[in-house]
């Protein structure tokens, strides 16, 4: 009897130690990856990174055109994707909360949410790059917008569903039309959550490489022409990291550091927004 | 002859009557305007919801259209041919499909037990004040862009494996009949195993966070009853929590699998891009997504491009099925808990 008990206790302790080890293992990777990234990235960080163009192999330079390209592509993608995402989420939470269209859209949206991003790149190549005959910044930002939409749809729907119905009823009782009730009352109540959704979407696309590879392509030079290939930070990192040149590789690390810091800052901000909303 | 005052009264009555009409018409106009705005807004949101559907059908349609030349040229043989020769324009998807499945399998083999262990730690063992920080840290792993994993894998992880784990595996399993072919060949550093390990790190947070959520949703009374009977923590997890949340856990695992199958950049950096099937996991290989990422912009000729698009179609179909199963299972567990 005592023997059985001891055996059970032993088994329990073993699994508990294993679970502790697993957690340490998981956290260990985070520390390792961030550690190496900080070390390698900071050693290459200088003012030139933000003021000079990407260099030809064998010489020094910066990442200015890539950073600007990334900002423009991301900004446009958010501009295109957010309105569509918010409107679709609004329909699902406000108008058709229980109808069939909503459940189909929800299912499809969840699939799009985790669909391989390289397939999105192929899709945009087929519908934009191939008919237009050349790679372009527009195609790149549309590809990113396709990734933004599902994220925004999901959070908008979730956040609007959380808005208490009594608010809607109060608005209706003073004669407010439904569209105004949604835009003036429901949106305001769900604002923090919806902003979080957009931030998460930005975090998601700012590191996306695969859909840009054959839409926006890359550009060695400064380009404000969205109708031509545009450089972006992730694609430049991809190209530079796989090259044999030391200068390029060190720039790739610096670029990686910039992206990671931006993404982590965005996701921590998003997290802070949602928690403050929960507590209040 | 009427008194002067009466005229005023009539005037007033008339005036107020016209006022009322004017008021009524302006109110009717306002109502009509609101109604128009309402309908317009309603249709706008509806159109946006339908746009989401159109995106998915657009993806499927464009991939099918794009891969038609390759489907016509190779037919079903595309799926079971290993050959990939851009010069003679002879293409087969066997090697990338094989690589995708093997790397995902390695990733799940490692990430599932560890992810579940971490979820168990977070829900049962971890002190309350540490749960949030550790959970957040694990989720930050999910937020790191895949290209970062790629560059880290190429410059740090692969050389490390080349010097430590891979010689060790070769030395240990070199003498054992079947396993020796699994770990045969020189330690390149990059290769199928490295890609699988990186994928494992990438899907770990997905499995952890979904398992933790469903573990947390187990009614406390069930766990308390088991503890009351004298169960150890492990027994509670094994015989109460896991059976109760099985569907949700499997859904989370499939979500992670969907991610592993489609992951592109991290794999492209470390897999080595060799279009052949080799029994050894130490040898370089390729996956569907890595092949597309590497070759698409350089592909010349319609058949080459079309074959790559067909690869994309295959990948999309596989992930679609996996993700659809995952979502179905997660919605089932949500219904039970909710």
Average pLDDT over residues A172-188: 91
Contact by Cβ (8 Å): B288, B315: yes
Residue B91, judged by CB atoms within 10 A of its CB (0-12, 13-18, 19+), counts as buried
What pLDDT band is residue A244 in, cutting at 50, 70 and 90?
confident
Average pLDDT over residues B7-15: 60
Q: How far apart are CA B143 and CA A265, in angstroms?
A: 10
**Least confident stretch, A82-91, A243-252, B53-62:** A243-252
CB distance B140–A30 less than 8 Å?
yes
Q: With 90 as the cut, is the pLDDT of residue B54 above it?
A: yes
- CB pairs below 8 Å between A and B: how many? 262
Q: Which residues contact A181 (CB under 8 A, 6 or more apart)?
A: A168, A171, A172
Give the bridge partners for B272, in sequence order. Answer: B285
**Least confident stretch, A19-28, A78-87, A221-230, B110-119:** A221-230
- CA B326 to chain centroid: 10
* Chain A closest-CA separation from residue B4 CA (Å): 43
Phi, psi values for residue A98, rounded to 5°: -120, 5
Residue B9, judged by CB atoms within 10 A of its CB (0-12, 13-18, 19+), counts as exposed
pTM of the model: 0.88
Output Rg (C-alpha) for chain B, integer angstroms.
31
Structure confidence by residue, pLDDT tens digits, B230-241: 899 999 999 999
Residue B314 host element (H or E) = helix B302-337
Give the bridge partners for B84, in sequence order. Answer: B91
Question: Which has more pLDDT, B40 or B19?
Answer: B40
The interface residues of chain B toward chain A in range 94-113, judged by CB-CB distance below 8 A, are 113
CB distance A33–B144 less than 8 Å?
yes
Q: How far apart are CA B242 and CA B218, in angstroms?
A: 9
pLDDT of residue A199: 92
pLDDT of residue A42: 87
**Least confident stretch, A93-107, A263-277, B65-79, B314-328:** A263-277
What percent of chain B has pLDDT above 70?
A: 93
Chain A interface includes B35 (CB < 8 A): yes
Q: Which residues contact B249 (CB under 8 A, 6 or more apart)?
A: B116, B210, B211, B214, B242
pLDDT of residue A279: 44
pLDDT of residue B292: 92
Average pLDDT over residues A97-111: 92
Contact by Cβ (8 Å): B56, A105: no
pLDDT of residue B18: 58
Residue B242, judged by CB atoms within 10 A of its CB (0-12, 13-18, 19+), counts as middle
Structure confidence by residue, pLDDT tens digits, A153-174: 999 999 999 999 999 999 999 8
DSSP, collapsed to helix, strand or coil, labels residue B84 as: strand
What percent of chain B has pLDDT above 90?
A: 48
Give the bridge partners for B285, in sequence order. Answer: B272
What pLDDT band is residue B15 in, cutting at 50, 70 and 90?
low
Average pLDDT over residues B54-66: 94
Structure confidence by residue, pLDDT tens digits, A202-240: 999 988 888 898 888 887 777 778 888 888 999 999 989
Of B121, B312, B327, the CB nearest to A119: B312
Average pLDDT over residues B3-11: 58
Contact by Cβ (8 Å): B326, B251: yes
DSSP, collapsed to helix, strand or coil, labels residue B285 as: strand
Structure confidence by residue, pLDDT tens digits, A43-97: 888 888 888 888 887 777 888 889 999 999 999 999 999 999 999 999 999 998 8
CB distance B289–A242 less than 8 Å?
no
Q: With 80 as the cut, is the pLDDT of residue A129 above it?
A: yes
Query: Positive or negative CA dihedral for B105, B109, B115, B116?
Result: positive
The interface residues of chain A toward chain B in range 21-50, judged by CB-CB distance below 8 A, are 21-23, 25-27, 29-30, 32-33, 36-37, 40
The interface residues of chain A toward chain B in range 172-231, judged by CB-CB distance below 8 A, are 177-180, 182-183, 203, 206-210, 213-214, 217
Phi, psi values for residue B85, rounded to 5°: -125, 100
Contact by Cβ (8 Å): A231, A62: no
Helices (H), chain A: 2-43, 47-51, 64-90, 100-113, 117-124, 130-132, 137-162, 165-173, 178-180, 187-189, 191-206, 210-213, 233-241, 246-279
The candidate with the shortest Cα–Cα distance to A262, out of A224, A222, A205, is A205
Q: How distant, in Å, are the alpha carbons of A29, A140, A152, B267 from that of A80?
A: 36, 12, 12, 30
CB distance B293–A8 less than 8 Å?
no
Q: How far apart are CA A257 and CA A126, in angstroms?
A: 33
CB distance B52–A150 less than 8 Å?
yes
DSSP conformation class of A200: H
Of A21, A84, A94, the CB nearest to B51: A84
CB distance A25–B114 less than 8 Å?
yes
Q: With 60 as the cut, is the pLDDT of residue A17 above it?
A: yes
Q: With 90 as the cut, is the pLDDT of residue B30 above it?
A: no
Average pLDDT over residues A30-42: 91
Q: How distant, in Å, are the alpha carbons of B56, B155, B159, B168, B218 from that of B164?
A: 45, 15, 9, 6, 42
pLDDT of residue B17: 56
Contact by Cβ (8 Å): B318, B257: no
**Least confident stretch, A17-21, A88-92, A102-106, B186-190:** B186-190
Chain A interface includes B297 (CB < 8 A): yes
Query: Positive or negative CA dihedral for A79, A84, A87, A92?
Result: negative
pLDDT of residue A215: 87
Each residue of B184-208: b (16+ CB within 10 Å) or e?
bbebbbbbbbbbbbbbbbbbbbbbb
pLDDT of residue B89: 84
pLDDT of residue A280: 40
């Amino acid at each position: 009897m005592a023997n059985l008990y001891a055996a059970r206790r032993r088994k329990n302790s073993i699994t508990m130690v294993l679970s502790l080890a697993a957690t340490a293992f998981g956290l260990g990777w985070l520390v390792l990856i961030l550690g190496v990234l900080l070390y390698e990235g900071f050693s290459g960080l200088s003012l030139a990174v933000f003021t000079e163009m990407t260099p030809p192999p064998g010489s020094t330079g910066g990442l200015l055109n890539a950073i600007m390209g990334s900002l423009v592509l991301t900004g446009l993608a958010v501009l295109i994707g957010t309105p569509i995402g918010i409107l679709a989420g609004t329909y699902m939470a406000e108008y058709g909360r229980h109808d069939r269209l909503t459940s189909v859209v929800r299912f499809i949206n969840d699939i799009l949410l985790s669909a391989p991003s390289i397939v999105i790149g192929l899709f945009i190549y087929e519908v934009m790059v191939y008919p237009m005959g050349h790679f372009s910044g527009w195609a790149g930002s549309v590809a990113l917008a396709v990734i933004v939409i599902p994220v925004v749809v999901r959070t908008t729907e979730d956040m609007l569903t959380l808005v208490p119905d009594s608010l809607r009823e109060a608005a209706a009782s003073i004669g407010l039309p439904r569209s105004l009730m949604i835009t003036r009352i429901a949106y305001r109540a769900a604002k923090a959550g919806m902003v979080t959704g957009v931030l998460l979407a930005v975090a998601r696309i700012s590191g996306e490489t695969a859909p840009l590879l054959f839409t926006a392509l890359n550009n060695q030079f400064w380009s404000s022409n969205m109708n031509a290939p545009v450089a972006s930070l992730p694609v430049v990192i991809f190209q530079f990291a796989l090259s044999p040149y030391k200068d390029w590789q060190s720039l790739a690390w610096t670029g990686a550091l910039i992206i990671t810091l931006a993404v982590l800052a965005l996701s921590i901000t998003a997290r802070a927004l949602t928690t403050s909303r929960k507590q209040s | 002859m009427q008194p002067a005052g009466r005229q005023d009264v009539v005037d007033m009555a008339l005036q107020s009557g016209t006022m009322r009409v004017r008021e009524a018409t302006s109110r009717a106009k306002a109502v009509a305007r609101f109604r128009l705005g309402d309908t317009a807004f309603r249709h706008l949101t509806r159109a946006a919801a339908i746009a989401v559907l159109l995106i998915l059908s657009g993806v499927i349609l464009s991939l099918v259209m794009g891969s038609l030349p390759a489907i016509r040229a190779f037919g079903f043989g595309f799926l079971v041919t290993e050959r990939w020769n851009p010069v003679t324009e002879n293409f087969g998807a066997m090697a990338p499909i094989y690589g995708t499945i093997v790397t995902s399998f390695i990733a799940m083999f490692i990430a599932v037990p560890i992810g579940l262990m971490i979820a168990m730690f977070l829900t049962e063992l971890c002190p309350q004040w540490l749960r949030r920080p550790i959970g957040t840290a694990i989720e930050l792993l999910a937020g790191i862009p895949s290209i970062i994993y790629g560059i880290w894998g190429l410059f740090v992880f692969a050389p490390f494996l080349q010097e430590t784990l891979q010689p060790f595996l070769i030395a240990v399993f070199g003498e054992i009949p079947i396993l020796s072919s699994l770990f045969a060949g020189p330690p390149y550093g990059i290769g199928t195993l490295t890609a699988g390990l990186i994928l494992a790190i990438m899907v770990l947070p997905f499995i952890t966070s979904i398992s933790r959520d469903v573990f947390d949703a187990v009614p406390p009374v069930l766990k308390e009853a088991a503890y009351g009977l004298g169960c150890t923590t492990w027994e509670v997890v094994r015989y109460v929590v896991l059976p109760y949340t099985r569907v949700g856990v499997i859904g989370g695992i499939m979500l992670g699998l969907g991610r592993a199958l489609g992951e592109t950049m991290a794999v492209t950096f470390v897999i080595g891009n060799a279009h052949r099937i080799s029994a050894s996991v130490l040898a370089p290989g390729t996956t569907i997504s890595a092949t597309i990422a590497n070759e698409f912009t350089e592909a010349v000729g319609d058949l080459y491009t079309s074959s790559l698009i067909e690869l994309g179609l295959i990948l999309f179909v596989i992930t679609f099925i996996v993700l659809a199963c995952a979502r179905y299972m997660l919605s089932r567990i949500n219904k039970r808990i909710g």
